[in-house]
Amino acid sequence: MVNQRAKDTYLSPQARVAGEKEEAEEYGPTGFGDIGKYIVNKERKLLNADITLRNTAIAAAKEQGKEVPQLFKDCVVYVNGYTRPSANELRRMIVIHGGVYLTNLHLSGKTGVTHIVASNLTKKKKLEFQSYKVVTPDWVVDSVKESKVQDWAKYRLIVDTGNKNVLGLFKAKMATESFQELLDEELGDGGDLTQSLPTIEEPTKCSIIPSSLASPAHSMKPPVSKEPVALFPRPSLARKAERAPSVESPAPKRAKPIPSFSSFELSFDEEELFNSLPRPGAKGESESRTMGTQETQTQEGTDKTEETQEETRGQTEDEARYETVTTADNDVPVSSLPFSSSILRAVDQSIDAVKAEDANYDDLEFSQSELLGVLSQVGDGSVLEQALETEGEIQVGKGEPPDQLEDSDFDFLDHISAEESADESEKEDPAVERLAKEESSGRSVTPPIRPEDQLSTTPIKRTSKLPYAIDDPRFISHFYEKSRLHHLSTWKARLQAKFELSSKNKQVPPPISGGDRIIMHLDFDSFFVAVSTLDRPDLTRKPVAVGSGGSRNADIASCNYEARKYGVKNGMWMSRALKLCPDLQTVDYNFPKYEEVSEAFYTILRESQLDYIRPVSVDEALVDATTLIEANATECSLSEAAETVAKAIATKVRATTGCNISVGCSRNILLAKLALREAKPNGVHVMFDQKAISQLLDKTKISEIPGIGRSIAGQIREKLHVSIAGKLARLKDVIPNMSALLGPKRGPQIVDFCLGKDDSQVAVQDERKSISVEISYGVRFENKKQFDGFVFNMSAELASRMEEISVEGSQLTCKLYVRKNEHETPKYMGHGQCDIYNKSVSLGCSVSSTSEINLAARGQFAAMGYDPVLVRGVGIQITKLTRDKGKGKQSMLDFNRGRTTRPDLCAPIMPPAGTQFDIPADIDPEVLPFLPASLRKQIETRMGITGGSRGALDPPKTPTKKNQPEMGSFFSPSPSKSVYATPGLSQSSPIRAPSISPSPRRAKSVSPRKRPGKPAAKTQIKRQKTNVRISHLLPDVQVCSEEMAALQNELAILKAALGEGTPVELVTRMMPLVNSQTDMNIFMELSSSIQQEVIMDYRNEIQRKIASISRQLEDLKEKERIERSREGSNLRTISLGTVTRNRPDTQELLSRLSQWVKSSYDGPHEDDVTHMIRRLRHYRNEGYHEVVNASVRWLSKLSAKSPDWSGVVRDIIVGLQEG
């Protein structure tokens, strides 16, 4: 603490106000020296340019008898991130008015900086900049406008560091205690409080709450108020207990103390600060920005009534907050509230406005002509001022059409009035009706007790306006159905899984050395528009965009090239686009059709004899066409052949789909992508020539290099002062340590890219590493209950997706979008400006079920401790994935493993659908995630309670085996042969009758694919160590067929469960299928309408599963098709240059056998043995007996050394005999 104070003093502005400029110049070179002369020179040049600019401006002004006030002559300013006005505009203003503009904070050493300008900072940056004067761009703009340097404190950006959870805790108290009690407590022990901080670390604090205390008391005793309660309401006792020790030891326990704003402020703004004190003394200090806030407010001159009202509240809160800030202990500053002022509102608005206007962010070039333009304007000061004024207006959001602002404010008002008349209006809406029902006990007409309360509740949009309540499972499906980004992501993931085909990649790794491959990048021209207008010939040649209903604030997903002429871009808001192009026509999404077209596209690719295909997106693929193009180049040049091939594919796609694609072709992926840019629209661009490549790179902006977006391009411009790829490439030798500047991997990679070098391969090797769900649209919670319900539904969604691809995972990350300011975005139900928080936990074992995920997620979210009312988005991600079945596509699953790693937590903890009613939990679910080590134990304890039915499942063989007579063809030889002989005849797989379904719980989709015990007792762990699988070497279709049969079986069971019956029958039948456990006694107690709801939820869940399984089946069929074509191409590839097309290459085969044995030192995967048997049978049936014999002999020789392989050869021989 002492050190920190010392540092503050050292850094305090007064210490350096005099002559910072010199200081900066003095320190500058020292800093620059580290990174090479180039940068030093560049920096110097820029500094000189600045000085020249200033002098010119002054001279020009003088000529007209005017003067440019040197407002910033004592300022060294650094602009961070994206601002409005842009960094360049700010730079001009600062420089012309006497300031020093720093291009690089790091290099010049932060000590030289007097001000940092930013519109928005990430949490990390906030921390980093905490002891500097961080102001909004308005500070510069207003200073210039007023011809007087404005007080920075009024423009301070960092005011609250995201203490939303504090609010949450506070509100929790509000929910359980009377205002008077609360007030007493606040005022009563305020004096005990010592210095504290606004928060960043607050979230974790919640985790130290003893779980017994943390357990939400209100779940039993509903809050008296219907006002939102915290995720983790904290009984006052707990807080008092925690606070007590701090009376003794006031020192913060934080490892790294951070200066509070208040102390910082006191050191240089005392006067102003004290002027604004509502009352003297340690507790009464109000922050000076309150004043500034009001000034700004007046300046804005908008929305007087509402904002003033809110402002008043804000002031009160600031006051309250200040109390705790100056005098707080290290406990949560209870009365802290998020900063509320029109400054922040303005920033918020301006950022939304920027987003609306600036969906695409072109490089901000430091253009000489622009500079000159301004210079000439500066001559006439008024021109400059006018310009600035306009900018200023845009900043506070007036640049937007007035109706937008009105709209958002109207919503705000609407909320208030709706609140009053809530009762009758809610009745009309079924969703609300249900809500009302749920909450009837916990709700009273209690109005907000204290103004603060209103603040956080103000702009809640009532969920009644959406078709489904937030905690209704249909909310999620409805959203995903309409979300383009969800569709894009899902399509991509599916395509990648389909083409992942690790078998092929490992079999024939493409030559890595670049230069000898030929890569094509194919992409539909404005895909969504093209497809959506297929049946709209009237729209050809007109500017068209696809967006949701053409609504004002809808995103444009795609616009055609006609529209792009007007500057319309993908991702832009409709309103902005319409301003640019009033004639813009809008069409709706047509997701099914996109899928269709995409399928046709990929079918063509698959039939095109390409070496590798990497799906980039639904409408975009990278292909390695080396073989094909080389084969076509016998009578022409390679590039002519490439063009022919590309055009052939393009023509075929056009003929099949009616849509245009463009193709870029070059020697690596990067260049193919760049060529594609050249090719668009509707063209082919082949680029083999080195000269052409260099030329292209010399005109390619760095921000156009794939993987380099706004941020990194900005860093490069800031640090290296280049924005052209070719130029950066030439800096390679001048600046040796790109790694230090741009990151250990990025640095070299960017340089390579700028040189046109790229060694990456087209083939997709990696299995996915994570799976997640996330929604940040329409997310509004009124209380914790809704939040929990939503989290449960999200968990279910995630579990279902995991099930679909058969993965489990052992790490879980929760993500929250938390509203930043009180201003809501004009985008309907949008999340607006948010802070994003992640928290992850290692679970200690793999999980995949809804209940497991929900349990862990709830724990994490609880630990994050935010007020549900402020939450604008929720995400759950699972990482550290393990494949459920062997290596992803194998059907094999050790039965035991299924039980030990996936204890089915079951539902007693959970309400069936998370919404209707609470079944009392018998353990505190929040405790578990904090105790990963004991997780399993707890779970097993629980299993004891519910384990009756489970016990029956334990014997791995009898019940399951009966149901899966075909499983384990390795052991029962007959069926496999036929399947192999007619691979992929999915219809031939028998559909088993649902009547012989195994025990209900096992009817979960994963289970039927599990296989009963096996003779060789390989443990699951051991098997995982077997890192090279023969399936990678020898593709097989058999497994898919088994899987398919299992899926079809399951489908039948699910469909059967949907039949008619009494409620009790229905629930009994469906319950096990939806992985839920409702106590039938409880169920029968429920009113029939609630019973119906439960049944509805179950039905929905089952329908969802049916859909999911149907899709899996489709995928499997598809995958089989691909596998088969691959198999064919493998044979062809292998035999190339060796023997004949059909005859296996013995040498090759034997070497693979060696590889197999060597890599699987602890024994083969039994699937692989099966594959091998099938393969050898195949060879034998084809008449290549000697190959078979050689293989078996070779194998037996190889396996002689390895005990784990001892039985394998015998098994193979037996298998061969049986076949």
- 813: contact with DNA by CB under 7 A: yes
- 793: contact with DNA by CB under 7 A: no
- When computed from its CA atoms, the radius of gyration of the chain, rounded to whole angstroms, is 33
When CB distances are held under 5 to 8 angstroms depending on the partner's kind, the choice from ligand DCP, DNA, none that residue 540 binds is none
Q: x/- string (CB under 7 A) for DNA, residues 617-656?
A: xxxx------------------------------------
Q: Segment contacting DNA (CB under 7 A): 122-130, 263-271, 511-519, 1011-1019?
A: 122-130
Is 523 annotated as a binding-site member?
Answer: yes
Closest CA to 209 of 759, 761, 930, 1191: 930
Task: Return the number of other C-beta atoms located less than 10 Å from residue 790's C-beta.
Answer: 25
Q: Judge contact between 260 and 196, C-beta under 8 A.
A: yes
Q: Report how far residue 1119's alpha carbon sits from residue 219's, in angstroms, rounded to the nearest whole number.
A: 48
When CB distances are held under 5 to 8 angstroms depending on the partner's kind, the choice from ligand DCP, DNA, none that residue 355 binds is DNA
Tell me how far CA of residue 631 lies from CA of 610, 634, 640, 645, 653, in angstroms: 11, 6, 12, 10, 21
Q: Per CB under 7 A, which of residues 325..384 are in contact with DNA? A: 355
- 501: contact with DNA by CB under 7 A: no
Q: Report how far residue 90's alpha carbon sits from residue 115's, in angstroms, rounded to the nearest whole number.
A: 13
Task: Return the number of other C-beta atoms located less than 10 Å from residue 69's C-beta.
Answer: 18
CB 816, min distance to DNA, A? 10
Q: Which is nearer to DNA, 620 or 1145 (CB)?
A: 620
Q: Segment contacting ligand DCP (CB under 6 A): 35-43, 147-155, 526-534, 1036-1044?
A: 526-534
Q: Per CB under 6 A, which of residues 772..811 are in contact with ligand DCP? A: none
- 732: contact with DNA by CB under 7 A: no
Q: Per CB under 6 A, which of residues 1117..1146 are in contact with ligand DCP? A: none
Q: Which is nearer to DNA, 753 or 1083 (CB)?
A: 753
| Phi, psi for 587 (deg, rounded to 5) | -130, 160
- 1040: contact with DNA by CB under 7 A: no
Q: What is the dihedral of CA 284, 287, 290, 293, to 10 degrees?
A: 180
- 768: contact with DNA by CB under 7 A: yes
Q: Which is nearer to ligand DCP, 528 or 1083 (CB)?
A: 528
When CB distances are held under 5 to 8 angstroms depending on the partner's kind, the choice from ligand DCP, DNA, none that residue 480 binds is DNA
Q: Which is nearer to DNA, 287 or 555 (CB)?
A: 555
DSSP 201: T
Q: Report how far residue 125's alpha carbon sits from residue 538's, in angstroms, rounded to the nearest whole number.
A: 51
CA 1150 from chain centre, in angstroms, equals 46
Helix (H), strand (E) counts: the chain: 55, 16
Print burial letters for 249-272: b (CB count within 10 Å at least 16), e (below 16). Answer: ebebeeeebbbbbbbbbebbbeeb
Q: Which is nearer to ligand DCP, 526 or 1146 (CB)?
A: 526
Q: Which is nearer to ligand DCP, 329 or 619 (CB)?
A: 619
- 827: contact with DNA by CB under 7 A: yes
Q: Per CB under 6 A, which of residues 568..597 are in contact with ligand DCP? A: 570-571
Q: Judge contact between 132 and 113, C-beta under 8 A.
A: yes
Q: Which is nearer to DNA, 256 or 279 (CB)?
A: 256
Q: x/- string (CB under 7 A) for DNA, residues 583-622?
A: ---------------------------------xxxxx--
Q: Report how far residue 205's alpha carbon sits from residue 750's, in angstroms, rounded to the nearest whole number.
A: 41
Q: Per CB under 6 A, which of residues 620..639 are in contact with ligand DCP? A: 620
Q: Segment contacting ligand DCP (CB under 6 A): 31-39, 520-528, 1065-1073, 1170-1178?
A: 520-528
Task: Return the number of other C-beta atoms located less than 10 Å from residue 411's C-beta.
Answer: 18
E strands within 132-201? 133-135
DSSP string of 1034-1075, one letter each residue: S--SHHHHHHHHHHHHHHHHHHHHTS---HHHHHHHHGGGGT
Q: Judge contact between 321 and 232, C-beta under 8 A.
A: no
CB 591, min distance to ligand DCP, A? 11
- 602: contact with ligand DCP by CB under 6 A: no
CB neighbour list of residue 152: distance below 8 Å, 6 or more residues apart = 115, 133, 135, 139
When CB distances are held under 5 to 8 angstroms depending on the partner's kind, the choice from DNA, ligand DCP, none that residue 778 binds is DNA
Task: Return the number of other C-beta atoms located less than 10 Å from residue 1181's C-beta.
Answer: 14
- 484: contact with ligand DCP by CB under 6 A: yes
Among 454, 483, 609, 1024, indicate the residue that binds DNA (CB under 7 A): 483
Q: Which is nearer to ligand DCP, 90 or 545 (CB)?
A: 545
Q: Segment contacting DNA (CB under 7 A): 97-105, 703-711, 897-905, 1168-1176?
A: 703-711
Q: How many residues bind ligand DCP (CB under 6 A)?
A: 17
Among 488, 508, 1106, 1213, indicate the residue that binds ligand DCP (CB under 6 A): 488
Q: Which is nearer to DNA, 167 or 621 (CB)?
A: 621
Q: Which is nearer to DNA, 839 or 1105 (CB)?
A: 839
CB 487, min distance to ligand DCP, A? 8
CB 653, min distance to ligand DCP, A? 13
Print burial letters for 365-402: b (CB count within 10 Å at least 16), e (below 16). Answer: ebeeeebeebbebbbebeebbebbeebbebbbbbbbbe
Q: Segment contacting DNA (CB under 7 A): 267-275, 825-833, 1111-1119, 1172-1180?
A: 825-833
CB 876, min distance to ligand DCP, A? 23
Q: Report how far residue 973's alpha carbon sits from residue 1219's, in angstroms, rounded to the nearest whole number.
A: 6
Q: Which is nearer to ligand DCP, 556 or 1150 (CB)?
A: 556
Number of residues in the chain: 1219
Closest CA to 908 of 924, 917, 921: 921
Is 409 annotated as a binding-site member?
Answer: no
CB 883, min distance to DNA, A? 13
Q: Report how far residue 42's alpha carbon sits from residue 47's, in angstroms, rounded to the nearest whole number.
A: 8
First to last CA, the chain: 79
Q: Segment contacting DNA (CB under 7 A): 234-242, 312-320, 333-341, 701-709?
A: 701-709
Q: Are strands 519-524 and 556-559 parallel, antiparallel or unpaired?
A: unpaired
CB 489, min distance to DNA, A? 3
When CB distances are held under 5 to 8 angstroms depending on the partner's kind, the choice from DNA, ligand DCP, none that residue 1086 binds is none
Is 782 annotated as a binding-site member?
Answer: no
Residue found by looking up tokens 């089989």 in the block: 1120
CA 872 from chain centre, in angstroms, equals 14
Residue 61 has, within 13 A of its CA and on its CB side, a CA count of 20
Q: Segment contacting ligand DCP (CB under 6 A): 179-187, 205-213, 616-624, 1105-1113?
A: 616-624
Q: x/- string (CB under 6 A) for ligand DCP, residues 539-568?
A: ------------------xx----------
Among 42, 576, 831, 887, indicate the residue that binds DNA (CB under 7 A): 831
Among 412, 528, 980, 1194, indicate the residue that binds ligand DCP (CB under 6 A): 528
Q: Which is nearer to DNA, 695 or 770 (CB)?
A: 770
Closest CA to 1035 of 1139, 1119, 968, 977: 1119
Among 160, 619, 1036, 1093, indicate the residue that binds ligand DCP (CB under 6 A): 619
Task: Return the number of other C-beta atoms located less than 10 Å from residue 440's C-beta.
Answer: 10
Task: Return the number of other C-beta atoms located less than 10 Å from residue 550's C-beta.
Answer: 17
Binding interface with ligand DCP (CB under 6 A): 484, 488, 523-528, 557-558, 570-571, 617, 619-620, 680-681
Point out the annotated binding site: 523, 619-620
Q: Show binding-site residues for Mg(2+).
A: 523, 619-620
